[in-house]
Structure 1
Amino acid sequence: MRRWRGGAGRAAVLAAALAAATGACHRPAEPEAPETREPSARAPAALPEIRESPTLAAIRQRGRLNCGVHEGLVGFAYTDNRGAWRGFDVDFCRATAAAIFGDPDAVRFVPLTTEQRFEALQAGRVDVLWRNTSWTMARDTGGELSFAGINYYDGQGFMVRRSLNLSSAAELSGARVCVQAGSTTELNAEDYFRRRGIEYRPIVVATEGEARQAYAREECDAFTADISALAAARTTLPNPQQHVILPDVISKEPLGPVVRSGDDRWAAVIRWTLNALILGEELGVTRSNVSDLAKTSPDPRVRRLLGVEGDFGPSINLSRTWARDAVAAGGNYGEIFNRNLGKQSSLDLERGLNAQWTAQPRGLIYGLPVR
């Protein structure tokens, strides 16, 4: 009777047969496939492919940034007696152009009214709004706008003639109040007086400029707007010392840059340009020392910010020196503030909430870390 061999015997027979077959064939050996191994835990992970922003690509092809600004607000955006654009928001436009092109003058300023600003952005007439615009829930969740940060913490107030001897906006019962139509300012004023049961007469005009002019012509008893705008308006009046901004702050107005929704890579360029200027102040990087610090600073935070270490600029499709170029354009956040709004300006505004988080007293300005 034939017996089946055990497992070990079968294995030996199969091995012998395989060896015989191999020996009988004299074909050249096939090149072995390269050995594949699981990546080592120490092996650097491959960088994800960086998607280019369609907006940034269009800007580069055009050769300039189109920046939407206020049509004329002292301290923020205005033209000087030579026709050159000046102001807080204007300097952020130039810093953005410098971050992209290395040239702060590669920018076209597009003056826009409150009613025009969002339509111009959505239609592509401008690439970004650096134009005192409040970040609100309705604007943020409407699906058409993306806020890229906050560059100024403001609040709404009231300006009146000193001769009225008022100490609070609560004393404006029956007063005529000039306010801009279609703005959060109009809504805030309505809320303020309604909450307190105060009757008032809103004098609603189309633009902030018209509201200033109506107040100057004494067509209203008070003018309400963001406090920074009131300070700017006061400098334009024939006798600024005859007007006072009341101490009441009736709203929170976080102002910041706005881009179109749907291009998150472009929003990142704006967000990190703003943060670079804020971090510049925090780390002591100024317009005058930025080049030297790029060569000599041992601080890893400064070295990352200025492109000496890391590929942070290329991660958003910019050069390694993007932040260095942005600061060199007009200084860090504090330099921009002081020159346009603070002690070095006609507005002479205190830093207040717009002081650095490390200042004494502390403010709300806080730069996100570059690392």
Structure 2
Amino acid sequence: MKQFLTALALGASAVFASGAAQAATLDQVKQKGFVQCGVSTGLPGFSNPDEKGEWTGLDVDLCRAVAAAIFDDPAKVRFTPLTAKDRFTALQSGEIDVLSRNSTWTSSRDATQGLNFTATNYYDGQGFLVRKELGVKSAMELNGASVCTQSGTTTELNVADFFRTNNLQYEVVAFQGQEETLKAYESGRCEVFTSDQSQLYALRLKLANKDDHIVLPELISKEPLATAVRQGDDQWFDVVKWVHYAMLNAEEAGVTSKNVQEMLNSPNPDIRRMLGVEGNFGEQLGLTKDWVARIVSKVGNYGEAFDRNVGAGSPLQIERGKNALWTKGGLQYGPPIR
């Protein structure tokens, strides 16, 4: 019995030590001086390097917002481009601190990948890209089509479910990488390219004759694209999650990168708590009182980030739709900071 209790105590100590080691991401980030962010290998509007190697996009801005909250400097972030196959392994191994890479939040990923999804940065759904010359107006007209997709993704599973449910025949042509899949579609190896609809609009811009292709109207799945962190670190989970919620709350309150300084004088108690004039809500997260003001002044609120990357101020021209605030009929909803 004594040996059993000793072994039990040692085991508990090991678990505690492991948990303590895992729960140090924020401290590690502060010590090294930057956030290591996993992104896509290049998806316009979400995470894409320009000709100078500078990363831009909605997913990129989330990482820059985390850096702004911690360091008051959105430039203190480094980006690791990852394929769909490598993205979760990179997070599990500690190669990156946060994964902000158009990844769908699913039950199996939540339960088996050793990670936690924080918040949905973009509500999406899977769709189809086809050549106009096919004369197809609906996904229900795709019987017998050859479909290019990326292997190892929910996309591959969803397209199988769609054709099976609707008793339609199809031929799948799967590839490892996104660029490889797009090139196969453009070269005519398949008639249809399927992916998240946001990706289809972005990748369509890369085609030589983009106006020869259309995105069909149907969505065949729910694709909540969310950031993720490793399991076992509640503080870091809270920081990343609340950075997104802070950007939503700022938009809802009308706090923008242009007026954030004057909003510090607002009599509105919600705004005063949000911007750190009252309370210690940032300090509860391990940040500073002015963490939201840092985010908004350096990166903007969620609406500003959406518009410049994928919305009206971008080449993609995607409407807010489900990504509008809840007050405007959308699904984006930030819990209160209080």
TM-score for the superposition, normalised by structure 2: 0.92
In structure 1, distance between residues paired with 2:113 and 2:88: 12
In structure 2, distance between residues paired with 1:88 and 1:271: 15
Q: Counterparts of 1:73-112 in structure 2 under 5 Å?
A: 73-112=43-82
Q: Deviations over 1:224-270 (max 9, x none)?
A: 00000000011111121111111110000001110000001110000
User: 2:210 pairs with 240, 246, 252, which one?
Assistant: 240
In structure 1, distance between residues paired with 2:113 and 2:92: 11
In structure 1, distance between residues paired with 2:176 and 2:152: 8
Q: How many residue pairs end up in the alignment?
A: 318
Q: Deviations over 1:48-76 (max 9, x none)?
A: xxxx9400011111111000111100110
- Flag structure 2 segments of 5+ consecutive residues without an equivalent: 1-21
Q: Deviations over 1:313-358 (max 9, x none)?
A: 0101101111111111221000000000001101000000000111
2:222 is matched with which residue? 252
1:191 is matched with which residue? 161
TM-score for the superposition, normalised by structure 1: 0.84
The letter for the 1-side match of 2:290 is T
- Flag structure 1 segments of 5+ consecutive residues without an equivalent: 1-51
Q: Deviations over 1:92-128 (max 9, x none)?
A: 1100001011111111011111011100000001000
1:18 is matched with which residue? none
The letter for the 2-side match of 1:203 is V
User: 1:343 pairs with 303, 308, 312, which one?
Assistant: 312
In structure 2, distance between residues paired with 1:327 and 1:271: 16
List 4+ stretches of structure 1 deviating above 4 A: none
Q: Deviations over 1:272-320 (max 9, x none)?
A: 10000001100000011111211x1111111111000000001011011
Question: RMSD across aligned C-alpha pairs, in angstroms?
Answer: 1.2
In structure 2, distance between residues paired with 1:262 and 1:298: 39
2:135 is matched with which residue? 165
The letter for the 1-side match of 2:314 is S
2:299 is matched with which residue? 330
The letter for the 2-side match of 1:123 is S
The letter for the 1-side match of 2:327 is T
1:363 equivalenced with 2:330 (yes/no): yes
1:297 equivalenced with 2:266 (yes/no): yes
User: 1:205 pairs with 166, 175, 182, which one?
Assistant: 175
2:7 is matched with which residue? none
2:96 is matched with which residue? 126
In structure 2, distance between residues paired with 1:118 and 1:148: 14
1:143 to partner: Cα distance: 5.9
The letter for the 1-side match of 2:184 is A
1:209 to partner: Cα distance: 1.7
1:265 equivalenced with 2:221 (yes/no): no
Q: Percent identity between the aligned chains?
A: 50
The structure with more radius of gyration: 1
